[in-house]
Amino acid sequence: MFRKGGDVTFLVEELRSVFDPRGGYFKKGGKYMPSLVAEIGDAIECHLRMIGMLKDEGLDAHQQALVEEKRAQYEAAVKSAETRDPDDFPEGAQLCGKCHTKAMIQMDGCMTCLNCGESKCG
pLDDT (tens digit, 9 = 90+) per residue, 63-110? 889 989 989 988 887 777 666 655 567 777 888 888 877 888 887 788
- Please tell me the pTM assigned to this model: 0.47
Contacts (Cβ under 8 Å, ≥6 apart) of 14: 41
CA distance 67 to 48: 27
**DSSP-assigned beta bridge partners for residue 25:** 33
**Mean pLDDT across the chain, nearest whole number?**
83
Q: Is 27 helix (H, G, I), strand (E, B) or coil?
A: strand
